[in-house]
Amino acid sequence: MTTASSTESTTEARESASPVLSARDLRVWYGSTRGPVAAVDGVTFDVRPGETLGLVGESGCGKSTLGRGVLGLLPAGAAVDGEVRFAGKNLVGMPAKELQQLRGPELGLIFQEPMTRLNPLMKVSEHFEETLKTHHPELPKDQIRSRALEALRGMGIPASRYESYPHEFSGGMRQRIMIALALVLRPAFVVADEPTTALDVLVEAQIIQILADLRRNFDTALVLITHNLGIVAEACDRVAVMYAGHIVEQGDAREVFANPQHPYTQELLRSTISLGTTGLHFIPGSPPDLAHPPVGCRFHPRCPKAMRVCAEEAPPEVLLPSGSRNTCWLPVPDMTTAEGRLPLEVEEISVADEA
Ligand SMILES: Nc1ncnc2c1ncn2[C@@H]1O[C@H](COP(=O)(O)OP(=O)(O)OP(=O)(O)O)[C@@H](O)[C@H]1O
Ligand code: SF4
Ligand SMILES: [Mg+2]
């Protein structure tokens, strides 16, 4: 925990502010030949102004679906239920046209792959003109140019490249242009889905710094999806750990990293390579098929601390004294039966797919 008083007061002010976006019991299903895939299955969280929430978890746990689900950007055929409250309105079920008007000026999405957003036939200048004209038709051309150049400068792209085409840039520069484009309208809430995965560590550090400046300067609330737990520890205020469509632990990032409570978070952190790593640890098995998730706690087939109750009943979410939320039977003092507390016999733990 930091001791700098100015940082603490900023953090306190942030924590007492009303959330910019609140998701309540959000659910998203995809149709599949195996039946409905419950990729996000009853997720609840808040993001406050200027706050960065890191969203972590193994591949296929539903992070991107959650990020897209809150922004109403799901592919055709996906079904969504629950509530996503933003600016006094529920985004779930909002007519597409109304949602479209919020995207850009209010809600932003940064993708991993910049070419999904950049048109190879359009110059950088044309991309900015199109975005700014759509939402600010009153802006004269010189102001469009100055706002675009300011956004690009913030990303370290010089004004001399304004009339270039996307293919004339490196991957890292393209990614920064795409981020500038997503942020030029200064949205209040942004989802960044693995924005740095394809980039080298120096560009990655630069982009993370830019995102931190953004929240400092404009109070932007950010959900940062990443596999890099180091980035979360460094750049996020809070962290939400996803497993098989659920958020299993969420809380202050420093607290969760220093003192992880959920066995999945503990295993995930143990699997991280650092300078002091002497042997590689991996979590046996793999996340379940979300068309047929396990009964009880979804992590129980892989959990080293699983008890009998874990294989029978889904655990409740427990609010811990630290303020973290932990969805696990372990911190529940009064479980249904003493029998329930018995460790699961090893042979009862079925690991579907040993990696
Ligand atoms: N368009 C789709 N149609 C059907 N199933 C999908 C679709 N997109 C994702 N899924 C399924 O939903 C689940 C969650 O996927 P999602 O992409 O949200 O996970 P993720 O945590 O972002 O993974 P990664 O870390 O690999 O990006 C997976 O089981 C995936 O197979
Ligand atoms: S509920 Fe049981 S199986 Fe699930 S994480 Fe907690 S101890 Fe492990
Ligand atoms: Mg993803």
* pLDDT of the residue at 355: 37
268 belongs to a structural domain: no
- Residue 307: C-alpha distances to residues 119, 262, 310, 342 (Å): 53, 14, 5, 5
In the structure encoding, which two tokens stand for residue 1, read together?
């925990």
pLDDT tens sequence across 107-133: 999 887 766 778 999 999 999 999 999
Determine the structural domain holding residue 154 and report its residue range. Answer: 114-186
When divided into structural domains, the chain yields a total of 1
- Residue 354 placed within a domain: no
Burial (0-12, 13-18, 19+ Cβ within 10 Å), 112: middle
pLDDT classification of 200: cutoffs 50, 70, 90: confident
The answer to the question of residue 143 being in a domain is yes
Ligand 2 and 29: CB distance under 6 A: no
Q: Which atom of ligand 2 is nearest to the CA of 304?
A: 8
Take atom 31 of ligand 1 and give the residue whose Cα is closest.
60
Q: Whose C-alpha lies nearest to ligand 1, atom 30?
A: 60
Q: What is the DSSP string of 84-141?
A: EEETTEE-TT--HHHHHHHBTTTEEEE-S-GGGTS-TTS-HHHHHHHHHHHH-TT--H
Q: What are phi and psi of 37, to 5 degrees?
A: -100, 110
User: Residue 122's pLDDT is what?
Assistant: 96
CA angle centred on 201, ends 236 and 233, rounded to 5°: 20
In this structure, are residues 247 and 241 in contact, taking their beta carbons and an 8 Å threshold?
yes
Q: What is the pLDDT of residues 57-70, one digit of tens each?
A: 999 999 999 999 99
Give CA torsion, residues 218, 230, 60, 27, to 10 deg: -40
Least confident of 22-31, 111-120, 165-174, 307-316: 111-120
Ligand 1, residue 194: give the atom nearest the CA: 27
Q: Is residue 153 part of a domain?
A: yes
DSSP 8-state code for residue 50: T
Residue 177 covered by a domain:
yes
DSSP state of 335: -
Residue 158 within any structural domain of the chain: yes
- Residue 178 falls inside a structural domain: yes
Q: Measuring CA to CA, which residue among 75, 103, 83, 86 is closest to residue 19?
A: 86
Query: Does 181 sit in the ligand 2 pocket, CB within 6 Å?
Result: no
> Which of 288, 281, 280 has the alpha carbon at shortest distance from 243?
288
